[in-house]
Chain A
């Protein structure tokens, strides 16, 4: 016992120590990561953010320097605050507030004292800066918009929030990231990769040299410039036409799927979201709950498509061979169906209606018949509905389209199962869901889906996924955007339908919208819509909807327009469609009167009506 006591203790101690080392270094220690070591300072070098050009190479978004006044509180010596404040054009109270905030953050580390100094203030200050110890100016790069249009398309950048930082460790507090539009869709391309310098610091936070002689340091990789498919002239014109209205325009080049313009109204000047007034302006835009200027109406405003949908109803009926071009009815101004003799009104004026005339005059009865025949083709309504739904969806409706835009809505195209669930104890049939025939009922679409559908019709049976990117420096195009998507309708069936759409302009619902010299095919649409005010469902003035493509042979543009609460389709949406098409194809406007009428029209009263608190009437002047 006497001999072994110390032996034992020594061995025991050794075991304890190795155990403790195991606990500290292996069990409870994470793998060493240079990025979390607080003995290493990481200094980031931000690359130049890529420029954005439009399809005609005009520069839309560039960068500009922004100057932040920085302060290291410990280094500040007593100063002439009155002079300092007058140079920066701030009040003494603000000075103290900023200074104290910086001091609370850290007396030793630099903080932003005043951000986004204007160029003039910067000039004044930099002259006198040496008088103010502890203050210095840090240059940052912010966006410089060369245009006042396309805010929804271009988007904006802002400091990454906590959620974004968590999702992608690339971002650190204070880093800028795309928040909307192209800036977010092509964030990784535009931002480049920031360079990192690892610097060994000591306990006093002083830099004592590069970590491992800089072997881990990286150089910044500049962001790539991109070219987008937007035609900025057309976009500007679209925004002009849409002023004082709410809605969206989506114009697509059918032969490529390139988005020529993506107008969301009302819009805002993108320069509002740069600089010191940014957050004030953002709050203002964000809080406008009537106009919702930050929402891209062309992409996410879901609505019933209304009559333009009849074109697809016709195509599916043709494909299912339940009608042909000669199938005809006599419209009596209403369509009567079901055992209870329910009626659907028709405003076409009545008379002999075949496919062509049905489209030309937008005859509800004709399409109710066509839809009913399609759904009643097979004994089982659910099965027929599935086939119908499949055809409709092949036009890109009811899906996100797989485009390169940051936001979108799926919309809704019901199938058999949808109604089986809806009517569990009831055998539904074509007449139960007859409103779908005229693009109402359960159908929901977004303007971009309508534009894409129009492009598919213009192409007679295929479309390219709509996209906004035209060219990225040194990269080839995403093949998703260069391979055509076939619709499930035989190309031969498009000819009569397009003929009908052409007649809409020649003698139908849009005859007064004709643009001399351009063969346009289009379809008007009017969609009922409802809102809830104080919990009461109220019907509002109809949405004015229009789809068109032109020229008839070799289409150059397919367009879909939504003017919210603009009454019938030809009224505003149709006029805008004609003007946009002429602007794009001809580059000049001959319909001067129509142009003035549209530009001067304000629907502001219409939008405020439901919120006035008084009873109101819809669909009237």
Chain B
């Protein structure tokens, strides 16, 4: 066996097969959602389904390119790819095109590209390179900050382009940090902040602060052995009060009206059931329709191209962010569970492979891929089924769009390339 040759037959075929299954199934759902009774030809490029087919063909070319490049290339050129990606993001402020309120697209004569999608793999590459650098110790505060900045720059640029959803995706890289050894209390702290924030929104800052104070007092007087030092308890209390009130303030002053509404609906802050129903219909019109479509699918679904709500275009943005509602309506419980299971298997497989990597670069990168896929999967499907407030990010491989599909293809196949090369690593 020639150890110097990158052997494409060492590709992890399980991942490839799951990937292909998702892309193909995704294509048929886009076909159904966008044909809607006016199907002409598979290659009609005025229609989303026609374009998506071309995007898929292009991604095959991309895969071939990615696999034919030497695995070491990605590690070596990670910084350059990252900087290129930042530049492309920054360029949007000059030459960007606004679609749906976000200035996230370049328009090349009809073909639009969304650099924020590509920034994901670029950022992971850079992060992997930085963490795997022998001089970096992620347990060190300084390096933690540096790594965090690395992630924050693209995230911040995307936020400036008014695409909060994509920004949130970068948050998933916390899992990478955690895996690579940042202290446990980061996780505890993160969870504490999340719970505190949600509780604040649900019950108001005052109630949260009073109950935390009560709990801390009980702890201080009844369970703490060294009663004299009250400093720790006080710090937590002051921090909680500060955080709680700033969350409330941010909710009222920073968030836009539609974001407030989404949270209000998600946490059921409106108690009057009549008003709640009205809110469901007006504010989260999309969600309401998508839930209805999924519900109407029943156990076995209405069948391919036979979804009445899909055909009638009842769910807005159905071929992009709400594509899962088409799956739900036309393929029913079994079909949509299948998709969920495929995603879970794909992510688990990538995680499993990551753990097997000998090089830290490959492992960090794999972990990053899994995290990004996971957060997309979690937020998109959660949103379409009404479990999570509305956040507009696509479902990988399913949602219509060239940039998304290509970015996810690159994300996965760079990892597969790195993985296929692991026997060459020493």
**Cβ contacts A to B, 26 pairs, < 8 Å:** A2-B181, A3-B355, A5-B178, A5-B179, A5-B187, A6-B370, A7-B348, A10-B347, A10-B351, A10-B374, A11-B348, A13-B377, A17-B385, A20-B387, A21-B333, A21-B336, A24-B328, A25-B328, A26-B298, A32-B296, A39-B308, A39-B309, A200-B37, A203-B313, A208-B36, A208-B311
Closest to B348 in A: A10
B210 at the interface (CB under 8 A from A): no
- Cβ contact within 8 Å between B333 and A26: yes
A contact residues vs B (CB 8 Å cutoff): 1-3, 5-7, 9-11, 13-14, 16-18, 20-22, 24-26, 28-29, 31-32, 34, 37, 39-40, 200-203, 208-209, 211-212
- Chain B's nearest CB lies how many Å from the CB of A506? 79
Contact B296–A29 (Cβ < 8 Å): yes
Q: Is the CB of B344 within 8 A of A21?
A: no
Q: Do residues B179 and A2 form an inter-chain contact, with CB atoms below 8 A? A: yes
Residues of chain A within 8 A of B299, CB atoms compared: 25-26
Contacts of B309 in A (CB 8 A): 37, 39
Which residues of B353-372 have CB atoms within 8 Å of chain A's CB atoms? 355, 367, 370-371
Is the CB–CB distance between B351 and A6 below 8 Å?
Answer: yes
By the criterion CB–CB under 8 Å, are B340 and A21 in contact? Answer: yes
A198 nearest in chain B by CB position: B308
In the complex, what residues of B have CB within 8 A of residue A20's CB? 385, 387
Which A residue sits closest to B309, measured CB to CB? A39
B291 at interface, CB cutoff 8 A: yes
A39 touches B311 (CB 8 A): yes
Kindly identify which residue among A7, A17, A28, A29 contacts B382, using a CB–CB cutoff of 8 Å: A17
Q: Mark B373-409, 1 if CB is under 8 A from A, else 0.
A: 0100110011001010000000000000000000000
Q: Is B254 among interface residues, defined by CB-CB distance under 8 A?
A: no
Query: Is the CB of B12 closer than 8 A to any CB of chain A?
Result: no
Contact residue among A2, A9, A24, A37 (Cβ-Cβ distance under 8 Å from B294): A24
Name B308's contact: one of A10, A13, A200 (CB within 8 Å).
Answer: A200
Point out the residues of chain A lying under 8 angstroms from B306, CB to CB.
212
In the complex, B109 has a CB within 8 A of chain A:
no
Let me know if A24 and B314 touch, CB within 8 A: no
The residue of chain B having its C-beta at the shortest distance from the C-beta of A34 within the complex is B308
CB contact between A3 and one of B37, B179, B312 (< 8 Å): that residue: B179
Residues of B232-249 at the interface with A, using a CB-CB cut-off of 8 Å, are none
With contacts A14-B343, A202-B313 taken as known, whether A9 is within 8 angstroms of B374 at the C-beta atoms is yes
A21 adjacent to B385 (CB under 8 Å): yes
**Out of B36, B184, B347, B381, which one reaches A17, CB within 8 Å?**
B381
Q: Dominant SS at the B interface?
A: helix
A13: chain B residues at CB < 8 Å are: 344, 374, 377-378, 382
Chain B stretch 47-74: residues in CB contact (< 8 A) with chain A: none
* Residue of A28, A201, A212 touching B295 (CB-CB under 8 A): A28
Question: Contact mask B174-186 → A, CB, 8 Å, 1/0?
Answer: 0100110100100
**Cα distance A212–B378 when bound, in Å?**
34
Write the nearest CB–CB distance from A187 to chain B, whole angstroms. Answer: 32
Binding site for A on B (CB under 8 A): 36-38, 175, 178-179, 181, 184, 187, 291, 294-299, 302, 306, 308-309, 311-314, 328, 332-333, 336-337, 340-341, 343-344, 347-348, 351, 355, 367, 370-371, 374, 377-378, 381-382, 385, 387
Inter-chain CA distance A201–B308, complex, in Å, is 8
Nearest-neighbor residue (CB-CB) of B342 within chain A = A14
For the complex, give the distance between the alpha carbons of A424 and B299 in Å: 64
A14 near B333: Cβ-Cβ < 8 Å: no
Looking at chain A's contact residues, the main secondary structure is helix
Whether B308 contacts A37 by the Cβ 8 Å rule is: yes
**Which B residue's beta carbon lies closest to that of A32?**
B298
Partner of B328, one of A14, A21, A32, A200: A21
Enumerate chain B residues within 8 angstroms of A1, measured Cβ to Cβ. Answer: 184
**B169 nearest CB across to chain A (Å):** 15
Q: Which 3 A-B pairs have the closest CB atoms?
A: A14-B344, A39-B308, A25-B333
Are B298 and A5 closer than 8 Å at their CB atoms?
Answer: no
Q: Report the bound CA distance from A203 to B317 in whole Å.
A: 13
The reply to whether A24 and B385 form a contact with Cβ atoms under 8 Å apart is yes
Return chain B residues, CB-CB under 8 Å to A16: 387
Complex CA–CA separation, A18 to B338 (angstroms)? 9
Find the B residue at minimum CB distance from A41: B312
Bound-state CA distance A261–B123 (Å) is: 95
Report yes or no: A18 in contact with B340, Cβ–Cβ below 8 A.
Answer: yes
- Is A24's CB under 8 angstroms from B37's CB? no
Point out the residue from B37, B38, B337, B351 that lies within 8 Å of A21, measured CB to CB: B337
Tell me the smallest distance from the CB of B313 to a CB of chain A, in Å: 5
Inter-chain contacts of A209 with B (CB < 8 A): 37
Which residues of chain B are within 8 angstroms of A18 by Cβ–Cβ distance? Answer: 337, 340-341
Q: Is the CB of B179 within 8 A of A6?
A: yes
A25 in contact with B295 (CB, 8 Å): yes
* Cβ contact within 8 Å between A6 and B295: no
Q: In the complex, which of the residues B37, B343, B348 contacts A208, with contact meaning CB atoms closer than 8 Å?
A: B37
Distance in Å: Cβ of A576 to nearest Cβ of chain B: 64
Chain B residues near A39 (CB-CB < 8 A):
308-309, 311-312, 314
CB distance from A221 to the nearest CB of B (A): 26
Task: Report the minimum CB–CB distance from A153 to chain B (whole Å).
Answer: 47
| Interchain CA distance A402-B344 in the complex, whole Å | 68
The residue from B298, B347, B370 contacting A25, defined by CB atoms under 8 A apart: B298
Q: Given known contacts A2-B179, A24-B294, A26-B333, is B377 in contact with A200 (CB within 8 Å)?
A: no
Give CA–CA (A37, B299) in the complex, Å. 16
A150 vs B187: C-alpha distance in the bound complex, in angstroms?
Answer: 88
Specify which chain A residues have a CB less than 8 angstroms from the CB of B313 in the assembled complex.
202-203
Q: List residues of chain B with CB within 8 A of the CB of A10.
A: 344, 347-348, 351, 370, 374
Task: Tell me if B385 and A40 are in contact (CB < 8 A).
Answer: no
Task: Point out the residues of chain B lying under 8 angstroms from A9, CB to CB.
Answer: 374
Complex contacts, B312 vs chain A, CB 8 Å: 39, 200-203, 208
Min distance, Cβ B160 to any Cβ of chain A, angstroms: 29
- Closest residue to B184 on the A side, CB-wise? A1
Contact A6 B297 (CB under 8 A): no
Query: What residue in chain A is nearest B181 (Cβ atoms)?
Result: A2
Q: Tell me if A6 and B175 are in contact (CB < 8 A).
A: yes
Alpha-carbon distance between A414 and B128 when the two chains are bound, in angstroms? 100
Instruction: List 16 additional A-B contacts (Cβ < 8 Å) besides A5-B179, A24-B328, A200-B312.
Output: A5-B187, A6-B367, A7-B348, A10-B344, A10-B370, A14-B341, A14-B343, A17-B387, A20-B385, A25-B294, A25-B298, A28-B295, A29-B296, A31-B298, A37-B308, A200-B311
Contacts of A203 in B (CB 8 A): 312-314
Nearest CB of chain A from residue B314's CB, rounded to whole Å: 5
- The answer on a CB contact under 8 Å between A7 and B351 is yes
Known: A3-B179, A202-B313. A24 touches B308 (CB 8 A): no
A17 neighbours in B (Cβ, 8 Å) = 340, 381-382, 385, 387
* Closest-CB distance, A299 to chain B (whole angstroms): 49
CA distance A32 to B306 in the complex (A): 13
| Least CB separation from A205: chain B residue | B312
Chain B residues within an 8 Å CB radius of A7 = 348, 351
With a cutoff of 8 Å between Cβ atoms, the chain A residues found around residue B175 in the complex are: 5-6
Which A residues lie within 8 Å of B340 (CB)?
14, 17-18, 21
Q: How many angstroms from the CA of A338 to the CA of B294 in the assembled complex?
A: 84
A126 and B347 alpha carbons, distance in the complex (Å): 69
Q: How far is the CA of A202 from the CA of B309 in the complex (A)?
A: 8
Q: Complex formed: what's the CA distance from A39 to B343 in Å?
A: 31
Residues of B near A22 (CB, < 8 A) are 333
Q: How far is the CA of A200 from the CA of B314 in the complex (A)?
A: 11
**Smallest CB gap from A7: residue in B:** B351
Most chain B CB neighbours (cut-off 10 Å) among A3, A6, A29: A6
